[in-house]
Amino acid sequence: MLESIRANANATQLNGAANNASGDVKALVKDAQSLLSAAASLTGNKADELRERGMELLDQALGKAGKYQDQALVKSKELARATDVYVKDNPWRTVAVAAGVGLLLGVILGRK
């Protein structure tokens, strides 16, 4: 039971991290797009500076996306291990829950 609670907490943390990552990356990409759009109408040194700054922001976005991807991979492996241990410790309970979920989905899908 304790492992189930830990697994749920890990899943909640993973969802929160994914939402934060998505927001961070979207903000960086938006900033980069606005800088590159502004640079498109300019010429000379100022345009070059804006383009370089836009490229730096895009590089940061890619770096953060990679970091969050690595974190999500680690968390998902931990969650899979916890699930595996729970299923091995409680095989009949797992079968009963799976059957219940299957029955519920069958009833819901059968009504439509």
Distance in angstroms (rounded) separating the CA atoms of residues 35 and 31 = 6
What string of pLDDT tens digits covers the 112 residues of the chain? 445 555 555 556 655 655 666 677 777 777 777 767 766 666 677 777 777 777 787 788 778 888 888 888 999 999 999 999 999 999 999 999 999 999 999 999 998 6
Neighbours of 28 (CB within 10 A): 20
Q: Domain boundaries in the chain? A: 2-111
The residues, any chain, with a CB within 8 Å of residue 83's CB and separated by 6 or more, are: 7
With 0.75 as the threshold, say if the pTM is over it: no
